[in-house]
Chain A
Amino acid sequence: MTEPTLTETPQQADRATTIYEKSVPGRRAAQLPPLGKGVEETPIDQLIPAHLLRERPAELPETSEPEIIRHYNRLSRRNFDLDTGFYPLGSCTMKYNPRLNERVAALPGHAKLHPATDPSDAQGALQLMYLLQESLSEITGLPTVSLQPSAGSQGELAGLLLTRAYHADQGRNPTKVLTPDTAHGTNPASVTMAGYEVVKVATNEQGGVDVEDLKSKIDDDVACLMLTNPNTLGVFDENIAEMAAMVHDAGGLLYYDGANLNAIMGQSRPGDMGFDIVHMNLHKSFSQPHGGGGPGAGPIAVSERVEPFIPRPQVVRIEDEEGAFYDLDYDRPKSIGRLRGFQGNFGVFVRSLAYILSLGGDGLSEASQLAVLNANYLKKRLSEGRAGKYLPVAFDRHCMHEFVLSGAPMKKELGIKTLDLAKRLLDFGFHPPTVYFPLLVDEALMIEPVETEAKEHLDAFADAIEKILEEAENDPELAQNAPYTTPVRRLDEVGATRNPRIRQS
């Protein structure tokens, strides 16, 4: 029994208990169907030799169905979620997830379709994938799309393996990949996994790539330049065409990290900027729910010269006198091969196509406009009052869909760190922005308000920041010890890594 106290919220008083700790020997939920008429109850060791069989059952929970529902419902209430409150997590594009998309993904024709179904019996599914390929091709301005990669980082790795295949096909084997110091951590990790060496490029005073530094690092050993544009500072790199020409002239390719595509849909296209390979995060710009950390999908769009190398199988449309037939094309001799099983995260494709159909071309364009409007409005609000004083904007100019503040003056003058501000925001009912990224901004706060947030939420967030800074002027400990109202308070993360307890003992 948990007794209510005056110093804890009811949730805090309700200590974490795992489903294993709720287990009672002999309890169960599942009732399986009978074996069926004619099927013998042969001892299993007469079907499979005893030495290949398990000696004792796995320790799984023993619990009833009502107990399972209650356990996970109670757990769910220990999460903050986008449907409940503002979630301006930079570079993550936490936009509303339309429930229509869940409904169409759950239709039996989608949800219960086996991935090995012969194409002749899966025409609707393949046509759906083809329509999504075509839509993403138009949005990125590149002719060919592979839907296969499971998430952005797998799209990156795919892109780098395509780069390798492209160069190898020309008898070349360059070893270096250039990435700006503002890049997402997945970029350098993917570069290493593709067998390339990371070469960092500096950022200029406007927040874009330092073109002189780039020029000095380009030679014929450069396989590609990997860029996010707008970058993680929310800045559109206006020198992009010049940089593209420099890299192409040296024989390299241009890779576009589409994490920030939400800023430019219908405004500008990576293909028109000169990029050869783009990955998109369907769980960002195209409204797939984030699921507490997935599932997502990371399709790639590529230029004509990279097309021969894309993963297989590829969905193709074959037209003859009887009409169109959609097929899976495995006959791609230059393909880099598979990145995963079957055809990709189809359920995500259904949701994202539903989103694209709902908005249409104009709607997508407007989504980006509103994302940029919201970001600039919130940036403006946070340039006033105490926020303006303690949290200056890194690279102050009109931003795209997100912007970065530096908490350095706040730390120096008020004695509270960006982490403290983030934790105090939790008490105000907001999810904090991305913190301590990008690395080149001291005490960074990366804020992406997205297009589906109404003005009043942006105002309330700005008001909360102002209030927290005001508190801190009087009593910095308030933020330093926050949060107070969350299911648990500040957690010992160092201890959890030093002495890892990662399963129930």
Chain B
Amino acid sequence: MLAAIGVDSIDELFAQIPEDIRLDRPLDLEDGMSESEVYRLLAGLADTNLDAERIPSFLGAGMYDHYVPAIVEAIISRSEFLTPYTPYQPEVSQGGLQVMFEFQTAMSEITGLPVSNAGLYEGPSAAASAAYLAINQTKRTGLVASRGLHPHSRETLATHAVGFGANLTEVGLEGGLTSGEELEAAVTEETAAVFLQNPNFLGAVEDIAVLGEAVKAKGAMLIVQVDPMTLGILRPPGECGADIAFGEGQPLGNRLDFGGPSFGFFCAREEYLRKMPGRIAGETTDVDGRRGFVLALQTREQHIRREKATSNICTSQALNALAGMIHLAWLGKQGFVELGELMARRTAYARNLIGNLDGFELLHEAPVVREFAVRSERPVEDLLPLGDEADGPAPRLQVYPLGRDYPEYEDSFLVAITENRSVDEIGWLAHMLEHGQAGWGEHIHEHDHEGNPVAGAVR
């Protein structure tokens, strides 16, 4: 090959790099390793993590330990889905493009909004994309967010607002729900958009339609972050007056993966179609009249419109959106509702059980679907380690302490329920919380509230 090129060494090809900026030493990294060595090293690291297969996880805050059906992995690991890139050549990308079309239909259905893109990176950055659309649409620069909006979404909005030349103000919560009074006062003629979340970060189901009235009255856009898995039973944002609905797609078919990759979704009213961020697949025909799919409306996108694009997004999360679509197809029309109902009923059970333990009370009484907030008499940081500190470092109860994000709720934590959290596990959590509250030295009992022996903690 060198002879064909007409050089004596590969080094000659690098001669175009000036000598003073050539690296004159080997990279200071370990030597390469065999496949089995890399496996063992990384498996060793993985083994030190307390994952949801080793301890019942009641962590939520936007990402949940749902059961991902086996067919998801079977399909997304096929080379034909795993290894191509963005469908720039539609004639050989019909598989991926049709998946996008099906995904767009599914997301449009569950959010009740007519237009969906093919996905974004994840939840909070989708908030920033929505803000960019709203600012360009309304030519206003005010952003208002409920404190019920995910703290990561609020912080992501604040980061991007600097670039957008926007300012962000927050509206407080009352009894777990966005304060209607504060919201009305915060929305002005300068407000581009108001961000709400349903259920909100504390798990409470908001009355989006009623809150939205104050938003609409000032001509601002109503943007709602939703948990897709609750939309089997909750009124969809499109029926509550939302202009845009977005959210974190992880609960749909994606692993926890310590936070990613997952996908974001973004749905809107028809009038925003040509201002949407991200890829959108559209149906069309080929020269012989066969049905086919292409990337539609590419003139919005960065590779065509450059500095005037509706977003800078290029590589997104296509494989993760496919996983979401397969999970939704597997749940199907009935299963999607049943899962919502199952979560609501088990959550009601867990909330009643834990809310009535000595030393605990509910942070709010608002209706919930799958996550609720509990206040503890004993400081949360003392409550969570499983056992006395004197016994050395202990694994922790997997619930979400609210203190970092909400100093005002420093004494509280969130409990999330999925179909993976059995009644036994809920009973175990209640028992451990009771222990933690009393102090590990106190004898509680060896049986749960129903007289069954309490299972061991960490598997």
Contacts and interface: CB of A to CB of B under 8 A. Distances in A.
Contacts, number: 700
B275 to A, nearest CB: 13
Given A35-B346, A264-B17, A294 B332 contact: no
Contacts of A198: 306-307
Interface in A109-127: 109-118, 120-125, 127
Interface stretch (A72-80, A299-307, A407-415, A467-475): A72-80
A105 B22 CA distance: 34
A360 B31 contact: yes
A38 interface: yes
A354 B89 CA distance: 31
A381 interface: yes
User: Which of A57, A73, A83, A290 has most chain B Cβ within 10 Å?
Assistant: A57
Given A138-B28, A341-B62, A493 B294 contact: yes
Contact of B315 (A30, A296, A340): A296
Interface in A264-291: 264-269, 272-273, 281, 283, 289-291
Interface in B86-112: 86-96, 98-99, 101-102, 104-106, 108-110
B398 interface: yes
B29 A504 contact: no
A450 interface: no
B16 A121 contact: no
Contacts of A57: 232, 333-334, 336-337
Interface in A472-505: 481, 483, 486-493, 495-497, 500-504
Interface string A420-432: 0011001000011
Contact of A431 (B92, B160, B301): B92
B286 interface: yes
Contact of B91 (A61, A235, A291, A487): A487
A51 B48 CA distance: 47
B314 A153 contact: yes
Nearest to A48: B367
B364 interface: no
A376 interface: yes
Given A347-B261, A489-B91, A373 B10 contact: yes
Nearest to A495: B284
Given A75-B94, A192-B307, 12 more contacts: A15-B290, A28-B335, A76-B80, A109-B51, A117-B258, A139-B29, A189-B309, A292-B84, A292-B87, A293-B86, A398-B16, A491-B91
Given A113-B51, A289-B83, A73 B284 contact: no
Contacts of A78: 92-95, 98
A81 interface: yes
Contacts of A38: 349, 423, 450
A6 interface: no
Contacts of A254: none
Contact of A191 (B93, B307, B322, B333): B307
A339 interface: yes
Give the residue among B28, B165, B290, B422 with the most A Cβ atoms within 10 A. B290
A400 B32 CA distance: 24
B156 interface: yes
Nearest to B458: A121
Interface string B44-56: 1111111111100
A23 B105 CA distance: 14
Contacts of A400: 16
Contact of B303 (A105, A185, A380, A398): A185
22 contacts: A28-B334, A52-B367, A60-B331, A61-B333, A72-B75, A79-B92, A81-B80, A102-B82, A109-B49, A127-B48, A128-B45, A151-B316, A157-B160, A157-B312, A185-B314, A189-B302, A193-B163, A294-B316, A295-B316, A432-B89, A488-B90, A502-B282
B109 A60 contact: yes
Nearest 4 CB-CB pairings of A with B = A109-B46, A115-B259, A342-B259, A360-B32
A294 B42 contact: no
Interface string A357-383: 111111111000100111011001100
A239 B303 CA distance: 27
A362 B25 CA distance: 10
A47 B27 contact: no
Contacts of A164: 162-163
Nearest to B350: A39
B227 interface: no
A444 to B, nearest CB: 13
Contact of A39 (B79, B346, B400): B346
Contacts of A52: 205, 207, 234-235, 367
B36 to A, nearest CB: 9
A48 B122 contact: no
Contacts of A171: none
A224 interface: no
A100 B82 contact: no
Contact of B307 (A153, A188, A346): A188
Interface residues of A, number: 200
Given A60-B329, A123-B48, A487-B94, A289 B82 contact: yes
B260 A346 contact: yes
Given A61-B329, A153-B312, A377-B1, A87 B287 contact: no
A503 B423 contact: no
A309 to B, nearest CB: 11
Nearest to A355: B38
Given A150-B125, A186-B314, A373-B1, A361 B29 contact: yes
A164 B161 CA distance: 12
B79 A81 contact: yes
A198 B231 CA distance: 42
Nearest to A131: B45
Interface stretch (B63-71, B180-188, B215-223): B63-71
A103 B366 CA distance: 43
Given A33-B419, A186-B314, A113 B256 contact: yes
A249 B31 CA distance: 39
B345 to A, nearest CB: 6
B286 A492 contact: yes
Contacts of B390: none
B290 A380 contact: no
A489 B286 contact: yes
A292 B86 contact: yes
B360 interface: no
A30 B66 CA distance: 13
Given A42-B345, A79-B94, A293-B86, A272 B236 contact: no
A97 interface: yes
B329 A342 contact: no
B406 interface: no
A184 B12 CA distance: 28
B259 A42 contact: no
Interface string B238-259: 0100000000100000011111
A190 to B, nearest CB: 4
Contacts of A377: 1, 4-5
A362 B315 CA distance: 29
Contact of A423 (B73, B91, B235): B91
Given A54-B232, A292-B85, A500-B282, A340 B337 contact: no
A193 B284 contact: no
B419 to A, nearest CB: 6
